Structure 1
Amino acid sequence: MATSWPENNPETLEDLCLKVAAKNIDAYADKSIDGYTLKEGISLQHPSLCDKLFQSMYEEYPTDLAWLKIFRDTSLTRLNRVNLSWRRIDTRDLEFICKHPIRELDLSNCHLKWEHVLIINELGGTLLSLIIDDSFGLVQSLSETKDSTHVDEGKFCIEYVFKCPKLKKLLLRDAYFKNTSIEDGTSILPAILNPLKNLNSLDLSCCVFDIELLDSIDQLENLCSLYLSGVNIEDMLEALKTICKAKKLRHLDLSGSEDAPQTHNHPGDCLSYIADNLPNLTSLDISATNLASYGTQASNRECSIPGLEGKELEFLGLMDCPDNPCERPDIPAKRVTGTNTEAQVLLAVRVYKDKESLLSSALNHLFQMLRYEEVRDQCQGLELILAGMKHNWKNKQVQISGSAALFYILKGENREKVTHLQRRKVILTLLDAMEQFRHDRTMLRNVLLNFCSMHLPDNLTFCHHRMIRNLMEVVVSDNQEDFIQKLGIILLNCLACQVDGEEKLTFGELGAIEAMLKIIRRKLALNQCDENMEVSWSMMWNITDETAENCKRFIDNNGLELFKSCLVRFADKEELLRNMMGLMGNIAEVRELRKKLMEGDFMDIFCKLMESEMDGIEVSYNAVGIFSHITADGENAWTISQPTRNEVMMRMMRAIKRWPLESRRNINYRSFGPILNLLKAFDTPAAQYWAVWALCNLTRVYPERYCRLLKSEGGLALLETVEADPRTLEEVKTLAHTVIEQVRNGPEKVKAESESNPEDQSDD
């Protein structure tokens, strides 16, 4: 049965508060040279809340650990679960963290040394779960303590390594135990395991050791789960004589990996030995091994998995096994990982979160199934993909496979069912992947295609700055693939269309104007007017709208000269010309920048474009709009002799009269402020004419959007003033009256009248 999609609810108040608290530490803590200290009167003693705040800060600050000091006072804070994986933590910080009654501690990939183990041992009274990844040499560091000054009365590394008698779960992956010993010559692995009498889960995945080092396993009387995934075992049948001493084992993991599959002699005998000697076994993982092979006696086998005759397991891992045993009928297990069915693949993605190679393989199979619309439970698939990618954020193949699979969910028939919170998780996960593998073209292509298929939500405040910064880095790269650059520019332009005010400034502050001009110069040098160039101009048009600072950045970076160069080189490109003229119109709205447009031969250019019939009325409309703002500044501001101000105003009037009032537009006004200001220009009738015509056109053709906008910005009162003033031209009065009536009648009536008039359809 497929998982139903959750309700599209917002985040809980608690989660929102924790995120705000993580971002605003100064609100409740004082910072000094020695780090943060909680303000007087503030206590975080509630263990569950304290753990959640710790995790929120861990996620908010991936490189800075200054926030750790908040938790140093154990009378005001209380931690039970601590995750510091992938962080370089010094012994001083670990010391005060370990003064808390911690029950679960994750220090994987933390570059641990033997000094850290001494501090961990202070948790002996409370620690139940310890996770360590030894790819940075902890075991080697422990073996070197015999040459160091010993502590703890000489007992450390002689009688024990971890002095945590209550420990129930130990995960120690990627450790090298061969030729490592402690003071008296005892091998380190037995020294670690022997004192841990209460251990019920042991994970030694990807470790290197001689199987004899597990001889002490029979002393772990409570051991229920043993993970030996990726451990190279030369003689499996012999090794099982040691492994099966743990008679209470319920779960045994002997899996290999897609990259390094394990091949064993007498596979059927190995499984028979397991079945006969582990009576409590309910879960077995033999993925990426040949242990499920038929061997040479296939015809005589009574069970689809030779050696497991008569067994009924809860779980059996068969992912990436030779001969595809996952496809056989009557597999003796209730749940199976493999590649034969949706259930097998989804289960593999769920359980192999800690096995990068098997997870990547499962994600590749899920991608293929999604591609051919063979996955029914896409909600579960989405959540599992995100969990796997988040947990393996440094593994490129997992990120590539996961992002490829995500694409077919986000663009498929269930795309509208993806909730707001799921979309947020997708965006943050993809940004993590993008930042981790910023130079991998496959990764970038996958991420950007996902963003494009999502139709990024209007509200990106949670990652707006981060999103722009990453997209900017993509588009400005000198050796970027054209397709990837195009996707980046399109996404930036989409974001630019959705923001206002301060958010537009963010684009400018992050160098968007300079980046787009760089792209345009590059295309100009190649004599290419393609989509990248056109969208670059479009983006600058969007982020300069009522944003004077960005307009100034454009001018300061020689944007006006680039405008002329593109106009001369690509005079017949309608889309390009419309985008460029829209940007010029934004500059013309800024009083202190208008004088720049009166220099050189820009005025002659705009005069010619007023008569243009390219792209319907768009180019002509923008040219008249530019002149409307310039002429409205008055005679004294007109600093050129040719063309004269009067001559330009006459040509403006002629152009406006030529435009069909029902013309459909490629424009998106978020505010009528600049246009409404021109309604007051009674001494510049051409500018006033343009402003009223624009309002009449927009409220007629797009009444649902613009009637409401005009009314909310006080436009009706201004139009009534224009209509009543004797200085107003008659044609302007008529247009003003029409606008007033359209707004008062409401969008439905305006639309109905428009649709009933055949002439109104001529420009569709």
Structure 2
Amino acid sequence: MADESCPAALSELCLAQVCLSLDTLCRIGPNGSMRLLWAPLLPQEMADQILNKMAVEGRLNDRTVSIFRNCEQLRLRKARIRSSPLSAEAFRCALCPHRLQELDASWVSGGLTGAQILSGLASNPECRASLQRLTLRGFQMEWESLQVEEAAQVAFSSLKGLRTLNLANTDLTDPTLEDICTLPKLEGLDISSTPVTELSALLGCRNTLRYLTAHGLRRLDMSSSRLISVLGQLSALQHLDLSDDRFASALSSAEDDIESEVDQALRLLLEGDPGVLPALVSLDVSGRKRMTEGAIQAFVERRCGLVFLGLLATGAGSCDVLTAKDNLKVTGEANEQQICESLRRYRERECFTREALVNLYQLTSDMDNQTRPDILKLVLEGMQNHSDSLSVQLVASACIFNLTNQDMAVGMPHPLLSAVVNQVLKAMRGFPSHQQLQKNCLLVLCSDIILQDVPFDRFEAAKLVMNLLSGQVDQTLQRMAVAIISILVAKLSTEQTTQLGADIFIMKQLLGIVQQKAMTGVVDSTLKFALSALWNLTDETPTASRHFIQCQGLELYEEVLESYYSESSIQQKVLGLLNNIAEVEELQADLMDEGLLDHIMSLLQGPHVEVGVSYFAGGILAHLTSRQDAWTLDQELRQTILEQLCAAILTWDLPEREMVSYRSFRPFFSLLQTCQPAGVQLWAVWAIRLVCTQNSMQYCRMLQEEGAVDLLKTLISDLDTHSDIRRMAECILGIVECQQTTSDPQD
């Protein structure tokens, strides 16, 4: 496995940048095609890498593939265009003129047919001779897509240099197979999941064929004796795959009672003379449940040169003879090695990937906190290769949770965890209504390591998780969703928080959860996380703050303050949000309620009031009293508040633990003006001293970048400034100076 903790190779970064910059590197022709403005003579391998990277990044299409029309500067030999949307014309004009040695066009979309690919390749005499490997997995040949005259001349047998051909999941027919088997150099053939009925054509390449993959041939119509006769004549055959996926179908239980002709042929092969297929070193019978341990043991003992045996979903992987062979690789479910080998071997096969993951889930449920990035990477590849399969996503996400739960994520490389999270988010987008999958994905995300340290699109994740709360969800899912949101929102930029808060639906959902919990009077993690999420959502986001008022959040929060008067953690979160509301000048009028202010004043100080509660209560009062012209209540009340504010702040001790974090100091600027009352100024400088003391590097830099240092200096120089305010401001500047000295030592 590549070291996921290492940075990406420079070549990979350069290739990615080329893909991102195609529009600026190219000129656009009248028909929309692209040509490089400057095309140096590149090494042939680099041209292959550019094409492959474009396909992997989803940047390869009719427009962009045209840069390869210049065969002199960008010479292709190994063309990989998997899953790219290309038309027949674009393929023929851009790729077929090259002297290709390999072409992987698996699952290519855009209207291109297998017949058109074959016709395009055959149109280049050099390509007919040079092409050695061709993969058309997932294609329909559709010979009718060619002109009658053209179709009559196009055949696989025209590609005389072909050594390996993959036609899995195509509409391959018996006549076409006969044509293929006339190829003089054919060594490897994959005809899995095709409708062929006869394999006698293979005798045409009996002396050259070394690798035959014939997985899931549902329409095969040959007697066991005829099948074993044909296979027995393939004297050069080294690898034979006759595995099957019927075990995963709804009819599997009924089919188990019937021994198929292929099963009988395989039994004869396993138990028979090793002189049949003497070169065979690799056999795959996965999915064929009628394979017995006795037959497997006899086969292994007779074949001393055996290097691979596929036994997944056969129940025969526990033979003692298998563990005695050090050089024998086995796919199965008997142990970790067999399961991991299954995930590596069967990347392209959904049914086998799922079967291996089911067994892996049982294995990883008891791993005793072992950190296994090697296994996690295999699970990730399975998810990525079958992103449209609900069954694979479901069991893979459960495996990922087992592999990253608790302390197991600590030792995982962050690039690997980042890729895992991105795939989990893709699964959430792909199956939004499947509650169990969503729950699995939330379980993965509910990790401090992932949420705090791993890079991923937190904004996208927050939106996906919020959408879960719109339907009927169980309490476990709701609790996880709210917990994740509360942490994600705190990690977003101000712009992202503003965009998220612009959706009033989010505000309604979170307030609904708070109301639901408050009505029952419970104090649980869901309530606390919902309050934290709302607090972070309204931080320096006036739109979200307005939505809070519009959704009757203020009335709800007043009730919460009264109901949870003895719960300081609840009060602190409630007052923190109200402090955000108080920072928005146009919303301050909504807080001008004597009953509310009396309650907040009662939380300024007292033997049983924690400093965190007092701090946010003071912040609300400081902001509301900072604008005398906007004060709509009795002036004596304002004066009383200012006096109590000063008295309370001077009794506060700096807490040992971090109590609050700020995105910026801009909300403090108006409070630091020399014209402000002493109580307002005192709260602002105490707040700045608090965070600068607890995290000097971050907040001292913020003070300097935002110009708050100059405001503090002005406050110190003003003769009317209260002595306690001046002392605190000088303390802050001392911390800033000390931080500067530490960060920029002089020689």
TM bin (shorter chain): 0.7 to 0.9
Counterpart of 2:274 in structure 1 is 275
Contact 1:162/1:192 (<8 A) preserved: yes
For residues 251 and 216 of structure 1, do their structure 2 counterparts lie closer, same or farther at Cα, with a shift above 3 Å needed? Answer: closer
1:154 match: secondary structure: helix
Q: Verify the 8 A CA contact 2:692 2:735 in the aligned structure 1.
A: yes
Are the counterparts in 1 of residues 406 and 447 from structure 2 also a CA contact under 8 Å? no
Contact map agreement 1:516 1:537 (CA 8 A) in 2: no
Pairing partner for 1:89 from 86, 89, 109: 86
Give the superposition deviation at 1:250. 1.0
Measure how far apart 1:10 and its partner are: 1.7
Secondary structure, counterpart of 2:615 in structure 1: helix
Distance 1:485 1:710, change over 3 A: same
Query: Does residue 248 of structure 2 align to residue 259 of structure 1?
Result: yes
Task: Quote the residue 2:212 is aligned against.
Answer: 226
Residue 372 of structure 1 corresponds to 366
- Contact (CA 8 Å) 1:672, 1:713: kept in 2 or not? yes
Distance in 2 (alpha carbons) for counterparts of 1:478 and 1:444? 12
Q: Is structure 2 residue 309 aligned with structure 1 residue 316?
A: yes
1:732-751 alignment to 2 at 5 Å? 732-739=725-732
Q: Distance in 2 between matches of 1:46 and 1:458?
A: 43
Question: Distance in 2 between the 1:46 and 1:505 partners?
Answer: 48
Structure scoring higher RCO (CA < 8 A, sep ≥ 6) equals 1
Per mean C-alpha deviation after superposition, the further-off stretch among 551-560 and 434-443 is: 551-560
1:252 is displaced (CA, Å) by 0.7
The one-letter code sitting in structure 1 at the alignment partner of 2:55 is: Y
Comparing 227-236 with 369-378, greater Cα deviation is found at 369-378
TM-score (norm 1): 0.82
1:154 counterpart residue number: 152
- After superposition, the C-alpha distances for 1:97-122 in whole angstroms (9 at most, x for unaligned) are 43333333333334653444423434
The aligned amino acid for 1:22 is C
2:190 alignment partner in structure 1: 203
Which of 609, 616, 637 matches 1:622?
616
CA deviations 1:129-162 (Å, max 9, x no partner) are 222234x7x25x33x57xx851338323xxx246
Q: Distance in 2 between matches of 1:76 and 1:310?
A: 51
Structure 1: how far apart are the matches of 2:542 and 2:344?
51
Give the Å deviation of 1:223.
Answer: 1.3
1:462-477 pair list within 5 angstroms? 463-475=457-469, 477=470
Q: Which residue of 2 aligns with 1:520?
A: 511
- Residue 271 of structure 1 aligns to a residue in which SS? helix
After superposition, residues 2-81 of structure 1 pair within 5 angstroms as 6=3, 8-31=5-28, 34-43=31-40, 45-61=42-58, 66-81=63-78
Closer, same or farther: CA 270–221 of 1 in aligned 2, 3 Å: closer
Amino acid across the alignment from 2:612: E
| 1:486-545 alpha-carbon deviations (Å, 9 max, x no partner) | 433333332322243444445346x4x541333423663784676445434423432443
User: What is the CA–CA distance in structure 2 between the aligned matches of 1:450 and 1:346, rounded to whole Å?
Assistant: 21
Residue 197 of structure 1 contacts residue 221 of structure 1 at CA under 8 Å; is this kept in 2?
no
Q: Which runs of 5+ in 1 are unaligned?
A: 181-186, 750-764
| DSSP 3-state at the match of 1:130 | strand
**1:450 Cα deviation from its structure 2 partner:** 1.7
Say which SS state the counterpart of residue 727 (structure 1) adopts: coil
| TM-superposed deviation, 1:222 | 2.0
Is 2:228 aligned against 1:240?
Answer: yes
Q: Is the 8 A contact 2:271 2:298 kept in 1?
A: no
Question: Which of residues 168, 178, 188 is equivalent to 2:163?
Answer: 168
Q: Deviations over 1:199-233 (max 9, x none)?
A: 211111122332x3433434353211001122245
The answer to whether residue 539 in structure 2 is matched with residue 551 in structure 1 is: no
Measured in 1, the distance between the counterparts of 2:525 and 2:61 equals: 41
Secondary structure (helix, strand or coil) at the match of 1:417 reads coil
Do the aligned partners of 1:382 and 1:406 also contact (CA within 8 Å) in 2? yes
Deviation at 1:699, TM superposition (A): 4.7
Which digits, 9 at most, give the CA deviation of each residue in 1:10-35, with x for residues without a partner? 22222223323323332212456733
The offset of 1:461, in angstroms, is 6.7
Q: Is the 8 A contact 2:4 2:416 kept in 1?
A: no
CA RMSD of aligned residues (A): 3.8
Q: Distance in 2 between matches of 1:219 and 1:665?
A: 75
Which of the numbers 99, 104, 107 marks the counterpart of 2:105? 107
Change (3 A) 1:746 1:72: closer
Greater displacement, 353-362 / 323-332 = 323-332
Q: TM-score of the superposition, structure 2-length normalised?
A: 0.83
Instruction: Tell me if the contact between 1:604 and 1:643 (Cα under 8 Å) persists in the aligned partners.
Output: no
User: Given the alignment, which residue of 123, 129, 142 partners 2:133?
Assistant: 129
What are the superposed Cα offsets for residues 674-696 of structure 1, whole Å, 9 maximum, x if unpaired?
Answer: 33553334432111011122234
Deviation at 1:606, TM superposition (A): 3.6
Provide the C-alpha distance between the structure 1 equivalents of 2:194 and 2:442, rounded to a whole number of angstroms: 38
1:217 maps to amino acid: L
The 3-state SS of whatever aligns with 1:455 is: helix
In structure 2, what is the Cα distance between the partners aligned to 1:674 and 1:384? 49
Q: Give distance in 2, aligned partners of 1:329 and 1:432.
A: 39
Residues 578-657 of structure 1 correspond to what in structure 2 (within 5 A)? 578-589=572-583, 593-599=584-590, 601-602=592-593, 604-612=595-603, 616-633=610-627, 635-640=628-633, 645-657=638-650
Residues 1:500 and 2:493 aligned together: yes
- Is the Cα contact below 8 Å between 2:88 and 2:117 reproduced in 1? yes
Cα distance in 1, alignment partners of residues 369 and 200 from structure 2: 42
Listed as ranges, the matches of 1:198-597 within 5 Å are: 198-210=185-197, 212-219=198-205, 221-232=207-218, 235-257=223-245, 258-259=247-248, 263=259, 264-265=263-264, 268-273=267-272, 275-290=274-289, 292-293=291-292, 304-306=297-299, 308-328=301-321, 334-373=328-367, 378-411=372-405, 413-453=407-447, 455-456=449-450, 463-475=457-469, 477-508=470-501, 511=503, 514-521=505-512, 524=515, 527=519, 531-532=525-526, 534-546=528-540, 550-556=541-547, 558-559=549-550, 561-568=552-559, 571-573=562-564, 574=567, 575-589=569-583, 593-597=584-588
Structure 2 equivalent of residue 184 of structure 1: none
Task: State percent identity of aligned pairs.
Answer: 23
Task: Find the aligned partners of 1:457 and 1:13 in 2 and give their Cα distance.
Answer: 28
Q: 1:295-335: CA deviations, max 9, x gaps?
A: xxx6xx8x823575253301112222235444556666622
Number of residue pairs matched?
712
Check the 8 A contact 1:496/1:543 in 2, yes or no.
yes
Tell whether the 8 Å contact from 1:256 to 1:288 is kept in structure 2 after alignment: yes
Which sections of structure 2, spanning at least 5 residues, go unmatched?
A: 743-747
Cα distance in 2 between the residues matched to 1:125 and 1:517:
67
Query: 1:63 and 1:47, CA in 2 relative to 1: closer, same or farther beyond 3 A?
Result: closer
User: Structure 1 pair 412/649, CA: closer, same or farther in 2 (3 Å)?
Assistant: closer
SS in structure 2 of the partner of residue 284 of structure 1: strand
2:745 — aligned with what? none
SS of aligned partner of 2:264:
coil
Which amino acid is 2:169 matched to? D
The one-letter code matched in structure 1 to 2:196 is: F
Q: CA deviation at 1:705?
A: 6.3
Note the alpha carbon deviations across 1:155-214, whole angstroms, 9 max, x for none. 23xxx246322222211123455xx5xxxxxx433344134322211111122332x343
